[in-house]
Structure 1
Amino acid sequence: MPIGPVTMIGVYLVLWWTVLFAVLPLGTSRETHEPPTDGAQWGAPATPNLKRKFITTTWVSAIAWIVVMLVIYTGWLPLPDFSRVAPNL
C-alpha cells in the first residue's frame, strides 16, 4: 500500500476544503442590493444554500479523491518511500 489510511483521510480533507472554496460562490447573484436594514453585510447572499453546497462539495471531492487514489495506486504519481532508514553519514 503506497499510503496509509491517515494520509488518505488527510488527502480527502484537503480536497474537500479546496472544493468547498470553489463551490461557495456558485449560485450567488450579482444583482444590486438595497442597503441592509437587519444588520447583515452588504455582500451576503439572501439565500446562501449552504446545505446544498456542502452536499455538492462532498460528492465532488469524493470523485476527485478517487481519481487521486487511482493515480497514486497505478504508479502515475510515484511517492517516495520515507519508511527506510537513511544511512549514517
Structure 2
Amino acid sequence: MRVTTIIAIYFLFWMLSLFLVLPFGVRTADEAGVSKVPGQADSAPAQFRPWKIVFRTTLVSAAIFFVFYLNYQFGWVTTETLLSITPHPRGE
C-alpha cells in the first residue's frame, strides 16, 4: 500500500470518527448550570473544546485504521468472504 493511499484512507477514518466522537461528553448550558447567551440554541454545548475532540478522534481513527491495516496485511476478511455470506438470487 502506498503512502498516499494510507493517508487518504486514514483521513476517511478520521472524518468518520469525528462524527462518532462529536456527541460524546457534550453538556448543554442547562446541564452544566450556566446561563445561556442570548440567541443560543438549547442544544448548544456549554463549553466547546475542539482540541479534546481532535485528540479523541485521532485515537479512535488510529485504532480503526490499525485494524483495517492488519486486515489488509493478513487478509482476514476478503471480498470472497463477504460474497460467501451474502444471499444470492435464486437460479444462480
TM above 0.5, one fold?
Answer: yes
Partner of 1:61: 61
Q: Which has the higher contact order (CA 8 A, sep 6+)?
A: 1
Give the letter for the 1:14 counterpart: L
Looking at secondary structure, tell me which structure has more helix per residue: 2
Question: If the length of structure 1 is used for normalisation, what is the TM-score?
Answer: 0.69
- Aligned-residue Cα RMSD (Å) equals 2.5
- Gaps in structure 1 of 5+ consecutive residues: 80-89
1:1-89 aligned within 5 A? 3-29=1-27, 32=30, 36-78=36-78
Percent identical residues? 30
Number of matched residues?
A: 77
- Gaps in structure 2 of 5+ consecutive residues: 80-92
Report the Cα distance in structure 1 between the residues aligned to 2:67 and 2:30, rounded to whole angstroms. 40
Report the Cα distance in structure 2 between the residues aligned to 1:77 and 1:7, rounded to whole angstroms. 19
